[in-house]
């Protein structure tokens, strides 16, 4: 039971004993005491005034006196208007620090054999282009959410659905066939996904030129888009693919192979991975079969043209197309098929889709359809809907080749980290190998933290240079603080100091030190809330507040030069516990922290 829960229970008993009012402990309003007042935690008194029939100040005084007399936790109290500020005994904070220091998994819940299973889908790339900045936000959120849910005791399976079929894939294939002159990743030196993405842009430029030519001949833009030779040829290629044409399938397999090799390099650099990858080319037929079964059960219906629809008006939505009149599938069909395969493969208790907020309606519909098709987790699926990420210049467009490539961005971040660290002299005492390791950590850590510290449901603007700053709410500020603590601990080890269980009777600590312990003790609650709200930003901003507080402590107090050996021991244990929580918290964000800088 944490401190807040203990105090809520004690206050509930006090109110019942003093005023005969029974209340549920978790209804009590408890908050951190403001820094300008004496105390650790504050109870809001106003809800009890009516039962007490006294002023808020008198009520607060009576409850405070009761708590101080009846529980050893409370050392003193004061009342400011309707707020009861409670000071917690020093020995409680020291015992808490001992518990934190001695728990290697502090903040995490052990995953047991009978734990429930959560499947998390993220990334979901198309094989006609490389990953870009938007994919980076998706992958970082998906990976971090998976780590946070594991820390909350879930078994987690990380999955990826690759959109490897469709007209957009055929556009790249056709452009390469017409204009590629047999180029390969090996002959060009390009990553495979970059090479294929190049031809997606080539197709779009050539297609637009054809549209312009047709419009000059008096054809409307709408008709020109439909009748341009390139788009007709791409549609013909898609039909050939669906009919298993050997040449088209061979080209498709070859170019997708190039893309997958490129994706793997990007994922490795970004530090994300998957337990299982599904492919749309293998799931859409399963979806068609599942829709046919829904049709037979009466869940769906045919229209006169032979298309299959779901009537969702009873659920407050509209009617949704599931199969076209020619029998071809839509995205919804694919998602149903993927769900079916996943349900066959894993005993899923909760399904989470990490997909941008432009797909909100799609997942509303999917949840209802999966429920109609008897998926146990269907109605309760989670669409983790996140906002778009843009650059200071505005939105990115794949077809026009104006996206920020993920590989280029990561390389740029590492280079900026190298230049910034050199300018500030942060790596003067490091070997060349250490420098390369650290600048990679700092560069990628800057990128990850800058993206993950933002409320995921909000759109954001990413500014590379702002993200690499050794001051303020940034990854490097946190990483440097961790390295600073580790430097102090190394010096302590060199002096032969052994960190041991603290003796409460031999130490007198300050309010600032108590506050830092209090902040450390909140880490498990932050992890729990981040899991409930699917929000890595809660972890990121907690770690920033912890680091700010530690830096103030580091500035105000001596550690290794402290003459009192018991106080020195305490401050080293406090520092080591802080470093441990920083490392664990940043690990939940997928960010490494250096041992030295």
- Looking at residue 402, its pLDDT comes to 53
**SS3 (DSSP) at 95:** helix
Bridge partners for 118 per DSSP: 156, 350
What is the rounded end-to-end Cα distance, in angstroms, of the chain? 38
Q: Distance (Å, rounded) from C-alpha 30 to C-alpha 7?
A: 9
Nearest to 516 by CA among 101, 148, 190, 176: 101
CATH number of 3-88: 3.30.1360.70
Residues of the chain with CATH 1.10.730.10: 406-588
Q: Distance (Å, rounded) from C-alpha 262 to C-alpha 417?
A: 24
**SS3 (DSSP) at 119:** strand
Q: Distance (Å, rounded) from C-alpha 379 to C-alpha 387?
A: 23
Q: Which residue has the tokens 């019942």?
A: 16
Nearest to 375 by CA among 384, 388, 366: 366
Q: With beta carbons less than 8 A apart as the criterion, state whether 136 and 451 touch.
A: yes
The count of C-alpha atoms lying within 13 angstroms of the C-alpha of 551, restricted to the half-sphere facing its C-beta, is: 18
Q: Distance (Å, rounded) from C-alpha 209 to C-alpha 188?
A: 26
User: What is the CA 355 to chain-centroid distance, rounded?
Assistant: 12
Tokens of 143: 């990976």
Beta-strand relationship, 350-356 and 382-386: parallel
Nearest to 530 by CA among 443, 452, 420, 425: 452
Q: With beta carbons less than 8 A apart as the criterion, state whether 559 and 571 touch.
A: yes
Read off the pLDDT of residues 391-428 as tens digits, 9 standing for 90 and up: 776 544 444 445 688 999 999 999 989 988 888 887 88
Read off the pLDDT of residues 467-524 as tens digits, 9 standing for 90 and up: 877 788 999 999 999 999 999 999 999 999 887 778 767 788 998 999 999 999 999 9
CB-based burial of residue 303 (10 Å sphere; 0-12 exposed, 13-18 middle, 19+ buried)?
A: exposed
**SS3 (DSSP) at 589:** coil
- Looking at residue 195, its pLDDT comes to 97
- Looking at residue 500, its pLDDT comes to 77
- Looking at residue 401, its pLDDT comes to 46
Consecutive 10-residue runs of the chain (597 residues): their mean pLDDT? Answer: 87 93 88 90 93 93 94 92 93 93 94 96 94 94 98 98 93 97 96 96 96 95 95 94 95 97 97 96 90 91 93 92 86 92 94 95 94 88 92 52 80 90 81 91 95 94 80 92 96 89 80 94 96 97 98 96 92 97 98 92
Nearest to 517 by CA among 582, 564, 577, 584: 577
What lies within 8 Å, CB to CB, of 177 at 6+ separation is 251
Helix axes 523-533, 536-556, angle to 10 degrees: 160
C-alpha gyration radius of the chain: 30
Q: With beta carbons less than 8 A apart as the criterion, state whether 414 and 439 touch.
A: yes
Q: With beta carbons less than 8 A apart as the criterion, state whether 26 and 8 touch.
A: yes
- Give the chain's largest Cα–Cα span: 94
Q: Distance (Å, rounded) from C-alpha 135 to C-alpha 160?
A: 12
Residues of the chain with CATH 3.30.1360.70: 3-88
Fold annotation for 406-588: Isoleucyl-tRNA Synthetase; Domain 1 (1.10.730)
pTM of the model: 0.91
Neighbours of 387 (CB within 10 A): 16
Q: Distance (Å, rounded) from C-alpha 148 to C-alpha 156?
A: 10
Q: Distance (Å, rounded) from C-alpha 245 to C-alpha 126?
A: 21
């Amino acid at each position: 039971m944490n401190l807040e829960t203990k105090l809520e229970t004690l206050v509930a008993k006090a109110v019942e004993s003093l005023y005969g009012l029974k209340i549920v402990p978790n209804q009590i309003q408890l908050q951190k005491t403001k820094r300008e007042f004496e105390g650790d935690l504050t109870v809001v008194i106003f809800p009890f005034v009516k039962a007490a029939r006294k002023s808020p100040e008198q009520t607060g005084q009576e409850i405070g006196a009761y708590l101080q007399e009846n529980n050893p936790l409370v050392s003193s109290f004061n009342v400011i208007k309707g707020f009861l500020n409670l000071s917690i005994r020093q020995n409680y904070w020291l015992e808490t620090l001992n518990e934190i220091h001695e728990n290697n998994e502090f903040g995490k819940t052990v995953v047991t054999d009978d734990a429930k299973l959560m499947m998390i889908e993220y990334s979901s790339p198309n094989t006609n282009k490389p990953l870009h900045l938007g994919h980076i936000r998706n992958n970082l959120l998906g990976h971090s959410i998976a780590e946070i849910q594991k820390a909350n005791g879930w078994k987690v399976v990380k999955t990826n659905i690759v959109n490897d079929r469709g007209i957009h894939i055929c556009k790249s294939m056709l452009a390469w066939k017409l204009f590629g002159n047999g180029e390969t990743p090996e002959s060009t030196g390009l990553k495979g996904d970059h090479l294929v993405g190049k031809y997606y842009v080539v197709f779009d430029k050539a297609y637009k030129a054809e549209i312009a030519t047709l419009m000059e001949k008096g054809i409307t833009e709408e008709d020109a888009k439909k009748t341009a030779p390139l788009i007709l040829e791409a549609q013909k290629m898609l039909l050939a693919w669906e009919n298993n044409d050997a040449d088209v399938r061979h080209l498709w397999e070859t170019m997708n192979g190039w893309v997958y090799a490129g994706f793997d390099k990007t994922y490795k650099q970004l530090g994300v991975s998957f337990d299982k990858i599904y492919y749309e080319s293998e799931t859409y037929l399963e979806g068609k079969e599942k829709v046919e079964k829904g049709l037979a059960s009466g869940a769906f219906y045919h229209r006169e043209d032979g298309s299959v629809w779901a009537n969702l008006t009873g659920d407050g939505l509209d009617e949704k197309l599931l199969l076209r009149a020619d029998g071809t599938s839509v995205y919804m069909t694919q998602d149903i098929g993927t769900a079916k395969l996943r349900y066959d493969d894993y005993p899923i208790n909760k399904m989470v889709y990490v997909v941008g907020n432009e797909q909100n309606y799609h997942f509303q519909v999917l949840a209802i359809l999966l429920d109609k098709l008897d998926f146990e987790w269907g109605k309760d699926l989670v669409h983790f809907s996140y906002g778009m990420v843009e650059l200071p210049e505005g939105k990115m467009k794949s077809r026009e080749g104006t996206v920020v490539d993920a590989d280029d961005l990561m390389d740029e971040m590492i280079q900026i980290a190298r230049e910034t660290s050199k300018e500030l002299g942060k790596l003067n005492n490091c070997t060349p190998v250490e420098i390369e390791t650290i600048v990679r950590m700092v560069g990628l850590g800057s990128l990850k933290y800058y993206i993950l510290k933002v409320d995921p449901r909000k759109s954001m603007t990413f500014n590379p240079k702002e993200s690499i700053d050794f001051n303020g709410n940034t990854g490097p500020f946190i990483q440097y603080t961790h390295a600073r603590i580790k430097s102090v601990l190394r010096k302590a080890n060199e002096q032969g100091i052994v960190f041991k269980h603290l003796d409460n009777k031999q130490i007198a600590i300050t309010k600032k030190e108590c506050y830092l312990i209090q902040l450390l003790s909140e880490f498990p609650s932050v992890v729990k809330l981040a899991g409930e709200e699917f929000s890595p930003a809660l972890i990121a901003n907690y770690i920033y507040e912890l680091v700010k507080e530690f830096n103030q402590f580091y500035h105000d107090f001596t550690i290794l030069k402290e003459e009192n050996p018991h106080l020195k021991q305490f401050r080293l244990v406090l520092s080591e516990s802080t470093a441990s929580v920083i490392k664990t918290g940043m690990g939940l964000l997928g960010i490494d922290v250096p041992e030295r800088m």
